[in-house]
Structure formats: structure tokens, C-alpha cells
Structure 1
Amino acid sequence: MAGSTTAERGERQQKSSGPPPVRRLRQLRLRTIVILAVALVVVGAGTVWVLYGSNWLRVERVSVSGTLVLTPAQVSEAADVPVGEPLLSVDTDAIEARLRRKLPRIDTVEVVRSWPHEIGLKVTERTPVLLVRKAGQFVEVDDDGVRFATVSQAPKGVPALELSVSRTGSRAASLRRFGEDRLVREAVLAAGALPAAVAKDTRTVKVRSYDDISLELSGGRTVVWGSSEKGAAKGRTLTALMKAAPGARYFDVSVPTAPASSGS
């Protein structure tokens, strides 16, 4: 019987040197997967250790910026940042809440991780726009009507708020309807609408009811403001009125389209 042809021998040789069996491929894939999984575990464990277990990324310093009346030491003490703890584990929301609770003078605060060792506290303090006299001291009120601090000395250039709201008679209805806090906010809105030159000369903002707000200026001058509504129009009208009657001591802009002045 004749031997195999050259073509047949080449075909057998190609089959014998062909691709590895399926089982071998599966073993290679499994080995690769195991190696990758082990590598990921090692890298993950190392990362966790660096972030939480090592001394490389722990809180060592607390910086404070933005203070005006408060001192950095007061803010740092109230924040009670856990020095020595891993930087990543610091609860920034809890620090912010503590600062707001302990220091009402703080309006906003941003707690920032500054790698590798610092927590930064960026503070914005409330600014008083009115003062309420109380037992020989002064309660500061900000532009949101929030009473945030009591001081023994009045800040320079901040007018006093005088609430002369009767609890009996016709004006008592305004107090019952709006409440004292709302009336304070109305006074804040009125003060915020004053032209800069008038605000500088304002000594007292008086509130008798929701629509009966008046201002006492330097030199014994009085401005009847009315309610806090149409504040921008009232401010423009008051500026024009003061220019037209520079010697007047009484100005009424409660109806800005029909102002009046008197008492030269």
C-alpha cells in the first residue's frame, strides 16, 4: 500500500501543531483572573492602610480664615477638629454644625480637607445692620433679621432698632398678625433700602406697626417710611427730597409718588 502523500503529511503536521485545547485556554484565563484579583486586593489593602492606618495622612493642623470679630482660636476651639485622626475620616458636616451651634455669629463656614495634614475652616461672619438695646447691652441683628450676638458696646455706624409696638389698641392687631420677628425683618428691609448717605446718618429705626416705620437721623431729622414695600422707590424719592429741601427736618416718603417735607 502506497504511503501518505506529501499533502496528507502536511495536514497531519498542521493538526498536531494547531491551537491548544480548550481546557488549557480556560486554565490560562483563570490564572490571569486570580493574579489580577490578588493584585487588586493588595493594592486596595495598601490604599486603605495609607488612608486610615498610617501616619502619613492624619490631621496635624487646623487653619482658620475670614474672621472679623471672632478670633481664630475661638473658631478652632468650637470646631473641635479631631487632631490625630485620619484626614479622610473627619466628619466635615459635623464640624460645620458644631460651629453654627456654638458660634451664632458665623453665617457660613466651609470645612476643607487640605492634604496631607490640614483641616481648613473658611468662615463668613454675620454683619449687624440693626441693634436692639437690652438691659444696657446691644443685640446685633443681621440682614436676615437674625439676632445673633449680644455685645456691651454698640458697633460704630449701626442704627438702633426701637420696637414701639403696642400690645393694646389698634396697633396690637399688627403685632398679633405679623409677630415680633416679622416686624424686625420689616425694619431690616427698610434699613437695607436706604441710600448710602442716609444710612450713614440714621441713628434709630422705629417700628410701631407693619406699615408704620420711621427713621431718626442725625441733626434731629425724621423720615416717615411707612411699610418696607417699595423700598427702592422710597430711597430714590428721599434722596431727591433732601436735595430739594436741604434744610428740612421732616420727610415723608411713605407714599413715594406723593412725598412731603417740612420744618426748615
Structure 2
Amino acid sequence: MGDSKKRSQVVTPRKRRPKAGASRRSGAMNANYFFASPALLMKIGGVLALILIAFIGYRWLVGSGTFSLHRVRVTGASAGLTAEIEQTVRKASAQTSVADLDLTSLRQKVEALPKVQAASVRRALPDELRIDVTERQPAVLVRRENGNLAWLDSEGIELGDLNSMKIGGSATLPPVARGFSEGARSPAAGADDRDRIAIYKQIEKEFGQDPGAVLDMVDEIDLTYTKDVNLRIAGTAVMVHVGSRDFRNRFETGLAVLDAARRGNEDLLRRYKVPDAASVIKNSDRINYIEAARSDRVVLSFSSPGAEKKDKQDRQETTKR
């Protein structure tokens, strides 16, 4: 009875501590195996030798001129722009092999050219660069404040002077636009110029909808104020105010009124509700402004005597520039 009441005793054996000498012997054995294995040493040495040979060979190839730039292939650009791009690329890569060129930096240099809208640059080893570009296209011909003509693209970026661009083989120039920003443009000024180009294109669209070369009767489009557009009748000093819409119909009204005044047609002038038709006919050679955007009537303004002759001379001088 007494034995059955005795508690069971569980004895946990004490963990053996590893002998310091054994651990040191194990590490020494691993090190000895590493240094004493000829096959392993040969493999490691072979890999290092291959890396060294490859590096030396690469540097030798680079230094030998094998990777020097020999060919630049440009696609998507006109002949003049192609030459400009090639010159830029060769100058930027003169001291660097094709293999070591920073393509991002090179692309940025190409895109910095005024006529380049976007570009991509690829290398074709050992000695060639391939460049694909999107060239900016002329959208509008503008007259600057100094009288010079310049081409702008659809974003308002200046591409060059009148003779720097070829447009579709046509000998006829489009109407010249006026009122665009000059010099360094702020973001707001750039947005305003894009609005002006959109209006210019809308005028072209309206004038081209029906048969008849009505646009040929316009030689200047004043877009200084986009809500108050003025069109100048070709060969005259007469500006027709067409406002911000219905450009063709309003311009044709101005043409009809000017023609009626010069032919002495009082009935037609009265039909357009032109005040004092008789006086208008008498001074028809001094008409310089026709307000055609009003819904109630057409209003005319006149230059002072002799101003018409002076304005004609000024236009001839400007055209020669």
C-alpha cells in the first residue's frame, strides 16, 4: 500500500556539452577539405579566368574601334532633318563607343531639335545606331512683330522661317496668321496659341466645305483676340470682323458689302442695312473695316485720305521680307 502511494519520478538526462576541441577540429577539417580539393580549386580558378578574359576582351574590342559609331540610320524624317539628326548624334557620341552610349541622354538631345516631336534610339551592335523620329509638321504660317514669316506646328512650336519648310508641293501660301506669342512662352501663352491654331483650322474647314476658292480671298487672319477674329481681304487694306463663329458666312457678307459699295449698288447696301449708303459709295476707296459679326446691321469704318496708298506701300514692303 505504501509503495503504491509513492510518486513516480522522471529523470531527464543531462545534455552533453560539445567539446570545444571537437568543434575546432570540425572547422579545421572543412577548411582543409576546401584547400585540399584540387578539383574545386580548378573550377573556381577557371570561372575567374573566364571572367577576366571576357573583361579584357571586351575592353580590347572597345578600344580597337570595333564599337565605334560608323552608321546612323534615321527613319521618319525629311532629308534636311535627317542630316541635322545625324550631325547631333555623331557629335554627342564622338568619344564613346556604341556599346557604352547613354541612349536616354541621346534621345533627349534628338528631341531637343525644334523639328522633332518624338524620337526613339536603339543600338545595333557593333557600330550602328537606329533612330526613329516623328517630325513636326507645319500647321500655320505666322507673321511676327518684326514682319518676318515663320512656320508653327500644331502645338505652336516654331519650326523655321518661310523658306525652311516645303508644304505639299503647292506654290500658293496659306493665309498668314497674326497675334501669336513670341519669345519664351508661359504655359498659359502656349495654351492660347493652341486655341489660335484650332480657330485657324476651323476657318480652313469652313471655307473648304463648299466649292469656290473663298479662302484665296483672305491674305491675313488676325487672331490676337480669339473671340474677335478679323480677316483681311486679299489685295486690300480692308479687315472684316467675323467674331468667334460662322466665319465664312460673315466674311462673304463683308465681300458682298465691299463689292456693292465699289459698284455703287445702293439697293444691296440697304439690304445689308448699311447706314448712309450714298456716303459709303462716295468713299468706297477709303473703306478699311467692315463689322460683319453684328446681327442687326453691317457697319463700316473709313481711313483718312491718303492712308490707303500708304498702307498699300507698307504691305508691299512687308511681303518682300
**TM-score (normalizing by structure 1):** 0.57
User: Aligned to 2:151, which of 137, 140, 151?
Assistant: 140
Q: How far apart are residue 186 of structure 1 and its match?
A: 1.7
Q: Report if the CA contact (8 A) 2:99-2:126 is conserved.
A: no
Q: How far apart are residue 48 of structure 1 and its match?
A: 3.1
Task: Give distance in 2, aligned partners of 1:58 and 1:164.
Answer: 45
Task: Give distance in 2, aligned partners of 1:199 and 1:181.
Answer: 27
Say which structure is richer in strand: 1
Task: Give distance in 2, aligned partners of 1:164 and 1:118.
Answer: 42
Task: Give distance in 1, aligned partners of 2:164 and 2:178.
Answer: 17
Q: Report if the CA contact (8 A) 1:108-1:125 is conserved.
A: yes
**1:206: which partner in 2?**
222
Q: Report if the CA contact (8 A) 1:191-1:199 is conserved.
A: no
Q: Secondary structure at the match of 1:107?
A: strand
In structure 2, relative to structure 1, the CA distance for the partners of 1:250 and 1:146 (3 Å cut) is farther
Task: Give distance in 1, aligned partners of 2:163 and 2:54.
Answer: 57
The amino acid that maps onto 1:140 is W
Q: How far apart are residue 105 of structure 1 and its match?
A: 2.1
Task: Give distance in 2, aligned partners of 1:159 and 1:248.
Answer: 14
Task: Give distance in 2, aligned partners of 1:85 and 1:111.
Answer: 15
Is residue 249 of structure 1 aligned with residue 252 of structure 2? yes
The amino acid that maps onto 1:224 is V
Structure 1 vs Structure 2 CA RMSD: 4.6
In structure 2, relative to structure 1, the CA distance for the partners of 1:70 and 1:250 (3 Å cut) is farther
Is residue 117 of structure 1 aligned with residue 120 of structure 2? no
Cα deviation 1:87-137 (Å, max 9, x = unaligned)? 112233443344444x41222232321222112233332212112223453
Q: How does 1:125-204 map to 2 (within 5 A)?
A: 125-134=135-144, 135-152=146-163, 156=172, 158-163=174-179, 181-193=190-202, 196=205, 198=207, 201=215, 203=218, 204=220
Q: Report if the CA contact (8 A) 1:62-1:81 is conserved.
A: no
- Number of residues of Structure 1 aligned to a counterpart in Structure 2: 208
The amino acid that maps onto 2:123 is R
In structure 2, relative to structure 1, the CA distance for the partners of 1:46 and 1:137 (3 Å cut) is same
Q: Secondary structure at the match of 2:195?
A: helix
Task: Please tell me whether Structure 1 or Structure 2 has the larger radius of gyration of its CA atoms.
Answer: 2
In structure 2, relative to structure 1, the CA distance for the partners of 1:55 and 1:153 (3 Å cut) is closer
The amino acid that maps onto 2:151 is E
Q: How far apart are residue 162 of structure 1 and its match?
A: 1.9
Q: Secondary structure at the match of 2:154?
A: coil
**Which runs of 5 or more residues in structure 2 are unaligned?**
1-28, 182-186, 210-214, 255-294, 299-321
Q: How far apart are residue 160 of structure 1 and its match?
A: 1.6
**1:254: which partner in 2?**
none
The amino acid that maps onto 2:222 is K
Q: Report if the CA contact (8 A) 2:142-2:180 is conserved.
A: no
Percent of aligned pairs with the same amino acid: 17
Q: How far apart are residue 218 of structure 1 and its match?
A: 8.1
Cα deviation 1:219-240 (Å, max 9, x = unaligned)? 99968352xxxxxxx7xxx6xx
Q: How far apart are residue 49 of structure 1 and its match?
A: 2.7
Q: Point out the more displaced range, 48-57 or 183-192.
A: 48-57
Q: Report if the CA contact (8 A) 1:222-1:250 is conserved.
A: no
Is residue 78 of structure 1 aligned with residue 85 of structure 2? no
Q: How far apart are residue 187 of structure 1 and its match?
A: 0.7
In structure 2, relative to structure 1, the CA distance for the partners of 1:164 and 1:59 (3 Å cut) is closer
Task: Give distance in 1, aligned partners of 2:224 and 2:93.
Answer: 50
Task: Give distance in 2, aligned partners of 1:94 and 1:38.
Answer: 34
Task: Give distance in 1, aligned partners of 2:240 and 2:42.
Answer: 87
Task: Give distance in 2, aligned partners of 1:47 and 1:68.
Answer: 40
Q: Secondary structure at the match of 2:78?
A: coil
Task: Give distance in 2, aligned partners of 1:111 and 1:194.
Answer: 38
Cα deviation 1:161-186 (Å, max 9, x = unaligned)? 12299xxxxxxxxxxxx975543222
Q: How far apart are residue 207 of structure 1 and its match?
A: 1.8
Cα deviation 1:51-84 (Å, max 9, x = unaligned)? 6334333211222332237253333223325357
**Which runs of 5 or more residues in structure 1 are unaligned?**
1-20, 166-177, 227-233, 252-259
**TM-score (normalizing by structure 2):** 0.48
**2:242: which partner in 1?**
224
Cα deviation 1:128-167 (Å, max 9, x = unaligned)? 21122234531111111222322348855543212299xx
In structure 2, relative to structure 1, the CA distance for the partners of 1:146 and 1:225 (3 Å cut) is farther
